[in-house]
Amino acid sequence: MSSWLQRQTGSHGVQLAGVAAFSAAAAAGAILGYQAVKRKAAIEQLKASIPDLDEQGPTQKLTEYGIAPSSKLSKEDERSAALARRAQQGDYDDDLILEQLARNRVFLTDEGLAKLRSSFIIVVGLGGVGSHAAAALARSGVSKIRVIDFDQVTLSSLNRHAVATLADVGTPKVHCIRRRLEQIAPWVQFDCRNELFGESVADDLLGPWTKSSDGGPQEPTYVLDCIDNISSKVELLHYCYKNKLPVISCMGAGCKSDPTRLMVGDISLSIEDPLSRSTRRRLKALGISSGIPVVFSTEKPGPGKASLLPLSEEEFNKGEVGELGVLPDFRVRILPVLGTMPAVFGYALANHVICDVAGYPNDYNAGAKGREKYYESIFGTLLATEERLARTLAGQDAIGLRIPVTKEDVAYLVEEVWRSKSVVSGLATRFVLIRWKRPEQGFGVDPEWEKEGQKVVPLRLGDLVLMTKEEAARHEREVLIGGKRVEDVYDEHILHKVEQRFREEEMYSRYR
């Protein structure tokens, strides 16, 4: 064995390889040593640039996210904060508060405003959406608001944040909101939680209000979900649903630009929204498929419209793309946001909560948008029915027959008058609009208009009811063709409902 080693070490090739390995190691050591020296010098230079601590530079303990908990107040902010402390302790004339809330007061009534002022609202997430929602709640009379967000104001926040100024950059969003809104409504009490929402802290963050000395703990009246991180959003909605906390959630405002497409409805109805789709999928796995109101946009992507920006090839080549996020599971790509749209979403959230808490009626027409083909189908069936009745019962030529009803009228009847439910069974599928009673003048063309060359059927919106196709076929056979009275076919409950909706339609028609 020893002779073999002697032969190998004496080999010229092995000697060259050894020299090369030694040279490489020496070069690497020199490079690393140089880098270490350079890094140490840079650190020393950075430390030397930091001013000594004194009264102008007091120390502050950073949060777990590396953020200063608050910043030094300006003279104006100090005065506003002092006024707010006094107002929150009751040293503020209630007549002044009512004067500031005068427009809301006459809209919501005294009773509604009183409910709003005594409510306790939680806003989770204070970015472009949440900051506008919180501002609207404070301006509208809510007196106890808990705000939850782990993040700080950045320069890029200023294109969409409701109240942040350049002076707020680098400060926690919760304290920025409190500081600015206290200058608007000093009597509002804020409970600032500079924390990341998660399942492990949900009991505390969504727990009762205990800051007031007047009365015991108060459970949340409403929770606003303004989170843009899918995992935290699902945990929040699941907790609220499980614990029966009223909640409304904001879906994606990024890449949206059309405010006319904004809708409020159940999460099961939300479409054209990747964030909503992912949220629905995860909630369904937890046993929740409906029962959560959301604000979403039905705007479709298209050529020339903004989209999620891809990461650069350089970042992908570094590997471990997930490590680029600020926190685990947080988005690492830039989401294009038009500064106006988060505000629209935020005000829609606040509007829902304000009306709901105050007891003001909210009759959303969520289904009327994006269902044009559906209404065309119902319109076509109604026209075909009128043609068939004119041909079979009146013996008229139905070619070219017209009815004084539009597709917009169909949407109005289906969504607003009949609430997308059959008047007979309450079912919500396979709809048909059909006459409720046989017309006194009979079916067919209006003779007066026929003289003018128009084949028009006399028909008012107040003549039509909503049924399923099967129910409509029976109704046509027994009432419209068979001549039975509706009182002989339907029970008192259905008859009363029809008459009530006809009266409502007559009232609605005055405002159309």
pLDDT tens digits for the chain (512 residues)? 555 545 555 666 656 666 566 666 666 666 667 667 777 777 777 667 666 655 555 555 555 545 555 556 677 777 877 877 887 888 888 999 999 999 999 999 999 999 999 999 999 999 999 999 999 999 999 999 999 999 999 998 999 999 999 989 999 999 999 999 999 999 999 999 999 999 999 999 999 999 876 677 999 999 999 998 889 999 999 999 999 999 999 998 888 899 988 989 888 877 777 788 889 889 999 999 889 999 998 887 777 888 766 555 554 455 444 444 444 544 544 678 888 999 999 999 999 999 999 999 887 755 455 577 888 999 999 999 999 998 888 788 778 888 999 988 898 899 888 988 999 999 988 899 999 999 988 888 877 777 777 888 899 999 999 999 999 999 999 999 999 999 999 999 999 999 999 998 888 777 66
Residues in a beta bridge with 223: 122, 247
Domain ranges of the chain: 75-305+337-363, 371-509
* 268 and 290 Cβ atoms separated by less than 8 Å: yes
Q: Using N-to-C axis directions, what is the helix angle for 12-49 and 2-9, rounded to 10°?
A: 70
Taking the CA atoms of 30, 34, 35 and 37 in sequence, report the sign of the dihedral they define. positive
Rg (CA), the chain: 34
Q: Which residue has the tokens 């409502």?
A: 504
Gap between the Cα atoms of 209 and 102, Å rounded: 27
Provide the terminal-to-terminal Cα distance of the chain, rounded to the nearest Å: 104
Gap between the Cα atoms of 79 and 2, Å rounded: 89
Which numeric CATH code is attached to 75-305+337-363?
3.40.50.720
Residue type, 129: V
Of the candidates 116, 121, 86, 348, the one whose C-alpha atom is nearest the C-alpha of residue 245 is 121
Predicted model pTM: 0.65
Residue type, 369: K
Residue 495 makes CB contacts below 8 A (sequence gap 6+) with 486, 487
Gap between the Cα atoms of 148 and 121, Å rounded: 11
Q: Which residue has the tokens 């038009």?
A: 338
* 223 and 122 Cβ atoms separated by less than 8 Å: yes
Residue 124 makes CB contacts below 8 A (sequence gap 6+) with 130, 148, 149, 197, 205, 223, 224, 225, 226, 227, 236
Q: Where are the alpha helices (DSSP H) in 50-93?
A: 75-88
* 279 and 251 Cβ atoms separated by less than 8 Å: yes
* 497 and 423 Cβ atoms separated by less than 8 Å: yes
Gap between the Cα atoms of 354 and 358, Å rounded: 6
CA 510 to chain centre: 32
Gap between the Cα atoms of 441 and 143, Å rounded: 61
* 315 and 324 Cβ atoms separated by less than 8 Å: yes
Residue 413 makes CB contacts below 8 A (sequence gap 6+) with 433, 461, 464, 466, 505
